[in-house]
Structure 1
């Protein structure tokens, strides 16, 4: 792993854990000092995170952590729904049961109330990404990967009511079982219902 890749990973976790909160300005000099790396490496890492949507950069201003709101939720979930609904329809119709999705589900089910919210979100999105990747379309996977960081940031920042890992795992097991049923219509209905409920919780704070 390169210095830049390692730094990208460290900064992503700082954002997702809330150590770099919404609105925080990110200083190249401070990060170079903190991680004992050269400023060009920091600059490259920040640029990678700007491209993923995890950080924003305004002209002639420093990089900062964006504060996502309702319009961001609606836009992200509109794109997310298009991709995921098509993915689960394809998986069910073709009888594909992606092993990575099943592994992600087991990891989600293994979480306890002692695990942090950032871990719950990470395993949640790993499962959804595995469903999309299961289609076997590099382009679809690339598009979905391009919005994953923003989706995770959105869920991290806008979680108003906490659901236990067990409840979240149960909801995802229901989704996976419908996808594995081979009934494309049921899989699509389950996916739409799951995403609509998630969006509603983020927008209103309750189911």
Structure 2
């Protein structure tokens, strides 16, 4: 076991912060020497004198032993293959989401076209009835009622369709932007960061 320790080692042995150790050295509470490089070192007996039972030299010895152990640095090819498979699955999922959003948007446009066609058919029906109608007040009243209903239907249909399409387009844009940002972030990560976070 070494008899002289650096400020960092003294901090681990005593459980005190490095700032506390430095303050005690500066105000003379704790004495020290210097090593060949001019760094301040503290004798074990000096730490025992000042900090007593707070000293635990086994903590420092355990740290040295652990630092001497070699950690594996090789990356298994299986890990890279697994990572690649995960990203391919992510891209496939994003593509499916984009396809679904585009399909919903197309359906909204189709519903709008159907509403327009329904209005045109109703208008043609009205024109047919008008052509066959007599000059009686009953027919005039019926035509007026149909015209009012058609006008309301056209207005409500247009409002609903425009609002729904606008909402779908906005949601589509937000989701596409989010997906593109996720993919860009993944592309910008290094392979080591992808593997180990």
Please give the TM-score of this superposition, normalised by the length of structure 1. Answer: 0.21
Structure number with larger C-alpha Rg: 2
**Structure that is richer in helix per residue:** 2
Greater length-normalized contact order (CA 8 Å, ≥ 6 residues apart): 1
Please give the TM-score of this superposition, normalised by the length of structure 2. Answer: 0.22
